[in-house]
């Protein structure tokens, strides 16, 4: 396991902790897409079913359990504990537009036509688009809180670091996972415009605002 993989995991974990901390401290989940968080919880659930079938390392197991817990606690806070502060009027992205093609693609393009492999493939494809409801929500409201932008930045950084991880693995191990790499590139592309706005606005103390749809 190389340094890019570790930094990617830490960036991912930091993003989830920032989001949970924001909700807990403010007792409010406005500006956060519950639909994106449901998709991420689904991603981790379908990807980490191998917790019951195989053991890779203590690090691997602990990180999987932590990601699952963070994902479900976040969903609980949004739809349970702080549901009265949830901005459902702006969290309107149609999930079927993502789930239907992802499910279909998982059956068509996978490495092995077995239940666990199809579910793993589904999780990879779904993760690449799971952030879209959040980005759609920000574009709909026209702006995002600073802490939410930090969350999105570290989530995007995690993907970028994983791309570096795959390049490093190809150089040192001649390992190449086409499904994971292509999906990771697609996901990173979704963050590119956000990265530019984050660097030019948020890091200079300005509030992030996006053009609202007509």
Nearest Cα to Cα of residue 187 among 6, 2, 8, 1: 8
Round to whole Å and give the CA distance between 4 and 167. 10
pLDDT in tens, 87-111: 889 899 999 999 999 999 999 999 9
Round to whole Å and give the CA distance between 83 and 104. 32
Residue 174 three-state SS: coil
pLDDT in tens, 130-163: 999 998 888 777 677 777 788 888 988 998 899 8
pLDDT value for 140 = 78
Residue 28 three-state SS: coil
CB 136 within 8 A of CB 69: no
Round to whole Å and give the CA distance between 201 and 170. 35
pLDDT value for 214 = 46
Q: Where are the alpha helices (DSSP H) in the chain?
A: 3-26, 34-47, 58-76, 96-108, 115-129, 132-141, 146-173, 178-200
Q: What band does 177 get if pLDDT is binned at 50, 70 and 90?
A: confident
**Token digits of residue 121:** 């493939």
Residues 6+ apart with CB under 8 A from 122: 46, 102, 103, 106
Angle, helices 58-76/34-47, rounded to nearest 10 degrees: 150
Query: What b/e readout covers 139-160, taking b as 16+ CB neighbours within 10 angstroms?
Result: ebbeebbebbbbbbbbbbbbbb
CA atoms within 13 A on the CB side of 177: 18
pTM: 0.89
Tokens 């980490």 belong to residue: 48
Round to whole Å and give the CA distance between 116 and 114. 6
Domain residue spans of the chain: 3-202
């Amino acid at each position: 396991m190389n340094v890019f993989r570790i930094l990617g995991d830490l960036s991912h974990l930091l993003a989830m902790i920032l989001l949970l901390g924001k909700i807990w401290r403010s007792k409010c989940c406005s500006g956060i897409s519950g639909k994106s968080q449901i998709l991420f919880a689904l991603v981790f659930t379908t990807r980490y079913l191998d917790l019951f079938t195989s053991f890779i390392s203590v690090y691997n197991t602990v990180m999987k359990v932590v990601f699952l817990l963070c994902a479900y606690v976040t969903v609980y806070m949004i739809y349970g504990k702080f549901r009265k502060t949830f901005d459902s009027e702006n969290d309107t992205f149609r999930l079927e537009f993502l789930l239907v093609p992802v499910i279909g693609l998982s059956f068509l393009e996978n490495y092995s036509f077995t239940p666990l492999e199809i579910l793993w493939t589904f999780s990879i494809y779904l993760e690449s688009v799971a952030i879209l409801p959040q980005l759609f929500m920000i574009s709909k409201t026209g702006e995002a809180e600073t802490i939410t932008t930090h969350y999105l930045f570290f989530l995007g950084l995690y993907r970028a670091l994983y791309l570096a991880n795959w390049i490093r693995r190809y150089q040192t191990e001649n390992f190449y996972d086409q499904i994971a790499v292509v999906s990771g590139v697609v996901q990173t592309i979704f963050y590119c415009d956000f990265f530019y706005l984050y660097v030019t606005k948020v890091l200079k103390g300005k509030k992030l605002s996006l053009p609202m749809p007509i």
